Chains A and B, each alone.
Chain A
Amino acid sequence: MADGAARLREAFAAAERPLLVPYMMGGFPTLGASRDVARALGAHADILEIGIAFSDPLADGPTVQAAGQVALDAGVVPDDVIALAGDVRDGPPVVLMTCLNLVMAGPPERFMRAAADAGVAGLIVSDLPCDEGDDVRAAARQAGVAMISLVAPTTTDERLADVAKVAEGFVYCVSVTGVTGGAVSVDDDLAAFVARVKRAIPLPVVVGFGVQTPEHAAAIGRFADGVVVGSQLVRAIERDGLDAAAGLAGAMAAALRGDGN
C-alpha cells in the first residue's frame, strides 16, 4: 500500500481538471445507506471526504451538525466510519474529517493504524492547528496517513509558513471566516487568498466551505486545484434523496471539466 500522501499526490497528478472532493457524513442517513452514498458520490469524486461525527463540533454549520447528530443518535462510532472507508477502498482515495478528541481517544496510534488498514489516505482534524498535536502527527506519519492542514482567510503569512512545515497531501482552504454551509462569494479576495496559500505552501490547494452550485465550483476551479462540496450534498440527500445528490455531484464534476460553459 502506497502511503497516503503519495496516493493523494497521484490523484492530483492524474486529474485533467480541478479535483472534486465531495463530503459525506459517515452514518448519515444511516450507516448502511452511507455505503450507497459513498459509492454514488465516489463515482464523481477524485477524493472522497468522509466525516466522523463528534458530539461538540466547532467548525460545522447547522446542516452538517444535524447529520452528525443523526449518526450519533444511531450509535455510530468512529470504527464504524473507518470500516465504511474500508468498504469503498476500491473507489477514489478517502480522507476522513473529524475533531481531535475522537482521534485522541483512539488513542492516536490505534486510530491511525485502523484508518491506514482501511485504506484511508488522509485525515483532516478541524480543531488541530499547525502548532499542536505532535503526537497525533507522529502517529499519522508512522501509519502512512497524510495529515491535511486547514487554513483560513484570517491565517497570516507568518502562520502559513508554519503550516507549510507540517502540511501533507493537500491544503484545505476554508473559503470563509465561518462554519460550513454558508455561501461562498467567489471574488478577487478568495482568488488572492488561494494565491497567497500557493506561494507559501508547495502543495495542491483545495477550497471548501460554502460551495453550493456548479457555477461556484467552476469559478473556484479557475484558481484552485480542487473544491470540496459538503453541506449542499448533505442537504440534497436529506431533502431530495441520493439520486439528486449524485446528480449534483455529477454536475459539479462537469462544471469543473468546463462542460456546459
Chain B
Amino acid sequence: MTTIAQRFGPYGGRYVPETVIPALDEFAAAYDAARDDPAFRAELAGLLRDYVGRPTPLYRAERLEAEYQAGPIYLKREDLCHTGAHKINNAIGQVLIARRMGKRRIIAETGAGQHGVATATAAALFGMECVVFMGRTDMRRQRLNVIRMNMLGAEVRPVDAGSGTLKQATSEAIRDWVTHVRDTHYVIGSAVGPAPYPEIVAELQSVIGIESRAQVMDAEGRLPGTVVACVGGGSNAIGMFRGFLGDGGVALVGVEAAGTGISSGLHGASLGEGSPGVLHGSLSYLLQTPEGQVAEAHSISAGLDYPGVGPEHSHLRDAGRVRYVSATDDEALEAFGALCRTQGIIPALESSHALAAVAREGRAWGTKGPILVCLSGRGDKDVDQAAEAMGIDG
C-alpha cells in the first residue's frame, strides 16, 4: 500500500470510474518509489535549479508597503519561474514520474493556460506527446497561452460544453484519460482530483513554502506573521502553506475569487460559500445546487474560475488552521494596477487576488510581523483582459 495521503480529514478519496483505479494505484506506487530514489530526487532538484530557475527570489516590495501602509511585505516571486508561474514545479515533477512509468502520452487540463503551458513545456523537454484540454471561453481570454502551447508542440483541444472553462476542461481530460489510461498520464494542474493527486501536487509545490520560510528567516530573523495566497484549486496556496503548517503562530490566509461580489452569485468562493460534495474525483467544498448539480463559477481570473477546491483546503478550513477570504474582480484589478505602478511587476490576475487581501487587511496584519504573499504567476497572459477592464488603450 502507498504511504501517500488518501484523505485530509474526511475530504479527498478516489471517486472515479473503476477503469482508472489501477492507474491511480500505479501513479501512487511510482511516486512512492521515486521519492525514495536519490537519482530521481537529484534529477528533479537539478531541473528545478537549472531549468525552472529555483530558488525563486523573495522580494521586499517597499513602495507597495507605502501604498498599503502595511508591511514589511515580501513577495515570493513564483512569477519568475520558467513559463511564468508556479505550475511548472508540478508539471516537471509529474512528467518525470510519467516517464518512469513508461507513459508516452501526456494530457492536462488548463484554465488560465499556465498549467497547460507548463505541461506542454515539460512534455517538449522530454519528447512526449501532449494534449491540453481547454474551455472555449478560456481559449479566447487566454489566447497568448494557446499560442504558446501550440508553439511548444502540444495540441490544444477546445472544450465547448457548458461555460467553456476549467470545470469542463477537467471533466473532458478525465474522460480522455478513462479512454487512454494504459499509455497516458494525466498531469492534473492543481491540488485537486482523486488521490494520490492532491498529495503529490502539494508535495511538488511545497518547494514554494520551504524556500519562503528560509528566505524570510534570512531577511528578517523571524517568521512571517501572515502568509497569503490565492485559491482556485489551491496548488500555489497549499505549496506555500505546507512550509508553515507546523508554525502555529503564523496566520495563513487563502483568497478565493468573489467575482462580481458574493451576493451576485457570480463567484468562485467554494470554501466560503459552498458545501461538501464530489467533483472530479474527490470530496471537498463545492459550489452546487440543492440537488447536487455543480454550479458554474465566475471570476475575471480564469485560474480561479472553478467551483471546487483541493480537499486539503477543505480540511484546513474546517480545522480553522487557514482563514479563507475572497476578493472581487474589481479588487483584484485594483491590486493588479497597484503592483504594476509601485513595483514594476505585472502580476497574474490570480495572484492579484492575494494582493487584494493585503490591500484590504494588510495594515492589521502588519502588526503581527512580516506579510508574505505568494506571487504565483506573472500577468503577461492577462494584459489584454486587464487593459480592457481598466479602460487602458494599447
Q: Does B278 contact A (CB under 8 A)?
A: yes
Which of B19-27, B66-74, B199-207 forms part of the interface with chain A? Answer: B19-27
The listed residue (B22, B168, B180) touching A156 by CB distance below 8 A is B22
CA distance A121 to B162 in the complex (A): 32
A40: min CB distance to chain B, Å:
27
Identify the closest chain B residue to A107 (Cβ): B292
Q: Is A63 an interface residue, CB under 8 A from the partner?
A: no
B178 touches A105 (CB 8 A): no
Q: Check A150 against B18 for contact (C-beta < 8 Å).
A: yes
Taken residue by residue from 50 to 85, chain B's Cβ proximity to chain A (1 for < 8 Å, 0 otherwise) reads as: 000000000000000000000000000000000000
* Chain A residue with the shortest CB-CB distance to B174: A58
Residue pair A132, B294 in contact (C-beta under 8 Å): no
B16 and A101 within 8 A (CB): no
- Considering the complex, give the chain B residue whose CB is closest to the CB of A66: B161
A179 to B293, CA, bound (A): 20
Contacting pair B278 A104 (CB below 8 A): yes
Whether the pair B17, A105 counts as a contact (CB closer than 8 A) is: no
Q: Does A129 contact B (CB under 8 A)?
A: yes
**Residues of chain A lying within 8 A (CB to CB) of residue B161:** 65, 69
CB pair B167 A58 closer than 8 Å: no
B250 interfacial contact with A, CB 8 Å: no
- Measured between beta carbons, the chain B residues less than 8 angstroms from A179 are 175, 178-179
Q: Is the CB of A104 within 8 A of B21?
A: no
The verdict on B290 contacting chain A, using a C-beta distance below 8 Å, is yes
Chain A residues with CB under 8 A of B18:
129-130, 149-152, 154-155, 159, 163, 174
Q: How far is the CA of A106 from the CA of B290 in the complex (A)?
A: 9
User: B167 and A127: CB pair below 8 A?
Assistant: no
Q: Is B313 an interface residue (CB 8 A)?
A: no
The reply to whether B16 and A104 form a contact with Cβ atoms under 8 Å apart is no
Contacts of B288 in A (CB 8 A): 101, 105
Residue A139 CB within 8 A of the other chain? no
List B residues 253-297 near A (Cβ within 8 Å): 277-281, 286, 288-294
Main secondary structure of the interface of B (DSSP, over half): mixed
Q: Nearest CB to that of B291 among chain A residues? A: A77
Q: Judge whether B233 is part of the interface by a CB distance below 8 angstroms.
A: no
B181 within 8 A of A: yes
Grouping DSSP codes into helix (H, G, I), strand (E, B) and loop, the A interface class, with mixed when no group exceeds half, is loop
Q: Judging by beta carbons under 8 Å apart, are B15 and A154 in contact?
A: no
Give 1 or 0 for each of A85-118: 1 = CB within 8 Å of chain B CB. Answer: 0000000000000011111111000000000000
Measured between beta carbons, the chain B residues less than 8 angstroms from A57 are 171
Q: Which residues of A contact B171 (CB under 8 A)?
A: 56-58
Whether the Cβ atoms of A127 and B278 lie closer than 8 Å is: yes
Are A152 and B13 interface neighbours, CB within 8 A? Answer: no
Q: For residue B136, give the distance in angstroms from its CB to the closest CB of chain A.
A: 15
In chain A, positions 35-66 with a C-beta closer than 8 Å to chain B are 54-61, 65
Q: At the interface, yes or no: B49 with Cβ under 8 Å from chain A? A: no
Q: Which residues of chain A are near B178, meaning CB under 8 Å?
A: 58-59, 177-179
Closest A-chain residue to B16, C-beta based? A127
A178 CA / B352 CA spacing, docked (Å):
40
Are B21 and A155 in contact (CB-based, < 8 A)?
yes
Do B17 and A127 touch across chains, with their CB atoms under 8 A apart?
A: yes
User: Which of A55, A151, A156, A182 gathers most chain B CB within 10 Å?
Assistant: A55
Q: What residues on B are CB-neighbors of A128 within 8 Å? A: 15
Across the interface, do A159 and B17 meet the contact criterion of CB distance under 8 Å? no
Residue A72, interface by CB 8 Å? yes
Residues on A with C-beta less than 8 A from B21 are: 129, 154-155, 159
Proximity string of chain B (211-240) to chain A, C-beta cutoff 8 Å, 1 when within and 0 when not: 000000000000000000000000000000
Report B294-318 CB contacts with A as 1/0, cut-off 8 Å: 1000000000000000000000000
Asked whether A78 lies within 8 Å of B17 as measured between CB atoms, the reply is: no
Contacts of A213 in B (CB 8 A): none
The docked-state distance in angstroms from the alpha carbon of A29 to that of B120 is 40
Chain A nearest CB from B274 CB (Å) reads 12
**Whole-angstrom distance between the alpha carbons of A77 and B288 in the complex?**
13
Interface check B182, CB cutoff 8 A: yes
Known A104-B278, A127-B281, A177-B182: A54·B293 in contact at CB below 8 Å = yes
**For the complex, what is the distance from the CA of A54 to the CA of B178, rounded to whole Å?**
18
- Closest residue of chain B to A160 (Cβ to Cβ) is B18
B14 interfacial by beta-carbon distance below 8 Å: yes
Q: Which residues of B contact A55 (CB under 8 A)?
A: 162, 293-294
- The verdict on A126 contacting chain B, using a C-beta distance below 8 Å, is yes
Query: CB within 8 Å of A: which residues of B?
Result: 13-23, 161-162, 167-168, 171, 174-175, 178-182, 277-281, 286, 288-294
9 residue pairs of the A-B complex, CB under 8 angstroms, read A78-B292, A79-B291, A105-B292, A149-B18, A152-B19, A154-B18, A156-B22, A159-B18, A177-B19
Given contacts A105-B290, A132-B13, A174-B17, 20 further A-B contacts (CB under 8 A): A54-B293, A56-B280, A58-B281, A69-B161, A100-B15, A104-B292, A105-B291, A106-B292, A127-B278, A129-B14, A129-B16, A152-B18, A153-B19, A154-B21, A156-B22, A159-B21, A159-B22, A163-B18, A177-B19, A177-B181
